[in-house]
Structure 1
């Protein structure tokens, strides 16, 4: 089996698995919504995260897999620009949703004497605004990608192009390379900083909660506390996975930015890492009880509106 075919199989498997997992998660939330059951605020964040996963898988996984199987001149100039734009929008919304999820959870579980309590009463009111703001900023900042993407057939004799497999990218000059690297690093670094701070706070809160429960007898609030602890542990796992995969993806993006002659395998590895979180995250959520069951819909976690 050739390396290209092996990479194509990995990309197809990753894309199909991610689409199936995200479809299952999104379908159940939509079904609950139309059955007039009130979704929790965390569920709304996860729905937006699921949509961003779809954009990543459809706009990166499918074209890259097609290129691995030899369809490397399939898209025209407009289609290349659109795919690149939507992929960057999905990446931006993914960053914003994961950051918002982490911050909202630490505000939710924070005790009354914690610093996060200041935002506790107002956090629920700003979830929708924050999600819409994430989409608006992602749509605006992703416009810069339209300038540099191009179809391979449109510029086949242009030596200033980088081969990305299914499309091409214009080579940057030194100044543009640095600016583009800053453009890639800074927003992600800010989100990751917020996630690390909130995750550290969640770990500390869980540790203190465990110590309190060891010295308390069982009471009526124990099941609720246990449920919140499991939800927090799931979000910590999700955020840790997000930070790991997106850090690797960002490092590969910077390498592709500064390298002039790109190898096909480096481009493919970058595509695989950029889709890892979108493929894995729905299964992490469903495995840890963060998704309504397909059969019983886990009515216990929802309130009738």
Structure 2
């Protein structure tokens, strides 16, 4: 069974790294061609964060599943969990930034968000860097609660097979978990609002230009329909996996128990969104304007039409 679990983790790592590397290369090529400069910057930060999430926990979990022991020191455990938490937070924050930027980009000219279109381009770089800095500061306490599994300390611990998380005081640990999770919850809410705003705009746009498509394009496969589906899939995947991940994190904090199956399931779920998000984004063909979801059709001037909403 351990061998099967190790193979599953290994396959997840390979699929996730391949998808994120493909997404990164795609947007680097667009950037070199003078296209999608702003959106490409967001994607570079997103792919780096996703790759760190996959590797920081995926590799140790795979090694532990294959039966390796004592391969991480106390310092190594602290670094692995700190990098994982920071990268996870950056992945959430960058995905939120991407959704908000897209909502601003396709907003109608008469909306309040339209005034932010020019300013948004200037703040993408600083916002991405600020996201890294904030997550480094918020998760600064994570290394204090993580130690090597084989440390002989008479305290409650959560066993992660190769490392352990110490619970000196469950109430304080729960408060710390809430503090760490607050930015994630805020980003989840903001991203959900931005994404459904885009879906509303695209649906309204589809109704207004339906006479342009006529009978040549099936409504089921129109660019607006595919764009809406992509946004909904991305948001649903994001919310589902990170909600499950947070539930496991809170459960471990409250109970102090860590069964073998729960640890493996939690580790697998933690890497699910970073693994699948790159393929969801690649499935929606980007175009020169950089609207990754508003450009579902290659030959349809959707961005130009959206600006007329």
Three-state SS of the structure 1 residue aligned to 2:209 is helix
Shift of 1:233: 4.9
Compute the RMSD of aligned alpha carbons: 2.5
User: In structure 2, which of residues 133, 147, 152 is the aligned counterpart of residue 150 of structure 1?
Assistant: 147
8 Å CA contact 2:78, 2:142 repeated in 1: yes
Farther off after superposition, 251-260 or 81-90: 251-260
Question: What is the match of residue 16 of structure 1?
Answer: 14
Structure 2: gaps of 5 or more residues: 215-221, 289-297, 302-309
Shift of 1:259: 1.8
Task: Report 1:184-263 matches (<5 A).
Answer: 184-216=180-212, 233-263=229-259
Within the alignment, does 1:276 sit opposite 2:272 as a pair? yes
Give deviations 1:49-73, integer Å, cap 9, x for gaps: 1000111011011111111121242
Whole-angstrom distance in 1 between the partners of 2:161 and 2:213? 61
Whole-angstrom distance in 1 between the partners of 2:42 and 2:236? 17
User: In structure 1, which of residues 128, 148, 156 is the aligned counterpart of residue 125 of structure 2?
Assistant: 128
Shift of 1:262: 1.2
Three-state SS of the structure 2 residue aligned to 1:71 is coil
User: In structure 2, which of residues 83, 107, 111 is the aligned counterpart of residue 110 of structure 1?
Assistant: 107
- Aligned residues between the structures: 284
8 Å CA contact 1:184, 1:250 repeated in 2: no
8 Å CA contact 1:95, 1:188 repeated in 2: yes
Whole-angstrom distance in 1 between the partners of 2:225 and 2:117? 17
Within the alignment, does 1:266 sit opposite 2:262 as a pair? yes
8 Å CA contact 2:203, 2:224 repeated in 1: no
Task: Report 1:283-294 matches (<5 A).
Answer: 283-290=279-286
Give deviations 1:109-162, integer Å, cap 9, x for gaps: 111122322322311111111111101111111211110111123x13544322
Shift of 1:185: 3.0
Within the alignment, does 1:50 sit opposite 2:47 as a pair? yes
User: In structure 1, which of residues 162, 167, 170 is the aligned counterpart of residue 166 of structure 2?
Assistant: 170
Whole-angstrom distance in 2 between the partners of 1:291 and 1:64? 38
Change (3 A) 1:10 1:291: farther
Whole-angstrom distance in 2 between the partners of 1:249 and 1:55? 16
